[in-house]
Amino acid sequence: MKLHRLAMNDGQSIPQLGFGLWEVPAEQTARVVREGLAAGYRLIDGAAIYGNEKGLGEGLRETDVPRDRIFVTTKVWNDRQGRTEARRAVEESLERIGLDRIDLILIHWPCPHRDLYHDTWKTLIELRDEGRVTSIGVSNFHEAQLQRIIGETGVVPVLNQIELHPRLQQADLRAFHKAHGIITQSWTPLGQGRSFDAAPVRQAAARTGKSPAQIILRWHLQIGCSVIPRSTRAAGLAENIDLFDFALTDDEMAGIASLDAGERTGPDPMRFN
């Protein structure tokens, strides 16, 4: 199976669908990475704070899939922001994963009250120019923070990874991303299962013979997002990539659009420091 890729604004591309490693126990991470790659995924979403970058690296070394076919993301945690700290943090992530170069580095949260995200962004630009990282982006950024880093540096993040699921659809931010050539990547895409029983999801599942999770993941793909569901189970990984033999109708897409409630499962990025 060849997964669809999204073009990024720096000339690179990213698989639209991947899998995430948040809360994957360190000792299970190499297995999950191997099983995910065997199931056909080529995008892996990691982060220093997940505490499993070593396992991610082990999985990359153990798989038969060549390194150049795999897209690896990791993130700079909040207490490592700033010009010097961010550089050290990225070097440490590369060391832990065991790579010379990472495909994508994100600033994990803006932490507006610390006011270091714009300095951190400048360091990521340098690391990209030095070849330590191929592409650079952000996570949990609001429009004003995106505008600031773009205004100060002229460099537009390739993507913004944000909380997004049927109960938090982020239409305004997605429109801003689209206008600036930034990919929207959805985290907690299954929204803790809170929409699994909603009528539009159940009805689409009944029509297609797919599970509620597959309906919701297909919705993310059809609204144009990159999406990174997590499962520690091989069967879950396989289910979450089995999305390409059906499509949601316009009515089904509209039904899921109607579930938006502006409801977060995670912290508000403006207050999380």
Ligand X SMILES: NC(=O)c1ccc[n+]([C@@H]2O[C@H](COP(=O)([O-])OP(=O)(O)OC[C@H]3O[C@@H](n4cnc5c(N)ncnc54)[C@H](OP(=O)(O)O)[C@@H]3O)[C@@H](O)[C@H]2O)c1
Residues within the interface to ligand X (CB under 6 A): 20-22, 45, 108, 139-140, 161, 187-190, 211, 213, 228-233, 236, 239-240, 266
Q: How far apart are CB 122 and ligand X at their closest, in Å?
A: 21
Q: Which residue is nearest to ligand X (CB)?
A: 20
Q: How far apart are CB 117 and ligand X at their closest, in Å?
A: 14
Q: Do 32 and 59 form a contact (C-beta atoms < 8 A)?
A: yes
Q: How far apart are CB 235 and ligand X at their closest, in Å?
A: 8
The nearer residue to ligand X, 136 or 213, going by C-beta atoms, is: 213
The nearer residue to ligand X, 16 or 161, going by C-beta atoms, is: 161
Catalytic residues: 50
Q: How far apart are CB 252 and ligand X at their closest, in Å?
A: 18
